[in-house]
Amino acid sequence: FALGSVVAVTKASGGLPQFGDEYDFYRSFPGFQAFCETQGDRLLQCMSRVMQYHGCRSNIKDRSKVTEL
């Protein structure tokens, strides 16, 4: 379930506005900012569960500190 969710979210992310496109415009709306934060947190939780399931240590709590996996 978790891996399928990660794959689905990754595919769906291709449809989001990219930097330089309309991203700055969308980012000016508090609702879009909140949506991005919520979805980012959910994605990190899902990725953390997938890593734990496969026996990897996962300490992905704060996405501002995530630079590489």
Domain count, the chain: 1
Among residues of the chain, what percentage have pLDDT more than 70? 74
The boundaries of the domain holding residue 28 are 2-65
pTM beyond 0.85: no
> Residue 61: pLDDT above 80?
no
Q: Which residue has the tokens 């496109």?
A: 21
What is the average per-residue pLDDT within 35-43? Answer: 86
Cβ proximity of 43 and 6 under 8 Å: yes
